[in-house]
Amino acid sequence: MKRTLILVLLLALLFTLTACGGGEKSSPQPPDAAAPAENSDGSAATAPVPEAGSRYVLTYRDCPLPMNAEFAPLLDFLGEPDSYFEAASCAFDGLDKTYTYAGVEIITYPDEERNYISSVCILDSSVSTPEGITIGSTQEDVAAAYGEDFQEFGTQYVYEDGDAQLSILFENGAAIYVEYTALNDLLG
């Protein structure tokens, strides 16, 4: 039953992403991707630190990824993704963009000439939240890290703070999906 529910949820998400139609493009790298940032002396650059409107912020490769943050400076720091996908946005004028790196997927939404982070999903156990939660963490681990103040939807814990929501889906007591999602007036 749980696997069926998960499959239905994933298919619904897939349908939502593809239902907008028109203009889908997939390529190994986005047109605006750059190599990882370096200082003028060749040393690694320090990640930009955009303002966060929530305590729920994933840090990936020493780069914080707060929801609703402009993505261009973060993309410059992170460099070329492993894969890139764009499609006409269902909710906005422009393109929703998906950047996949080792262990994490970042989705952006357009607003005028800029793109902002709408979600960040942990794809495997190579990436963990700042609190140490990753794919495979137990429900007890999650409650110890984030507390008991969550909404429970079946086998999913949902935490909200400011402009972000943290959702963790479990199967047999272990996390199988960890996602940060933006909350704002534009996204609903």
Q: What is the per-residue pLDDT across 80-102, written as a single tens digit (0 to 9) for each? A: 999 999 999 888 889 999 999 99
Find out whether 102 and 82 touch, Cβ atoms under 8 Å.
Answer: yes
d(CA 181, CA 119): 4
Q: How confident is the model at residue 9 (pLDDT cuts 50, 70, 90)?
A: very low
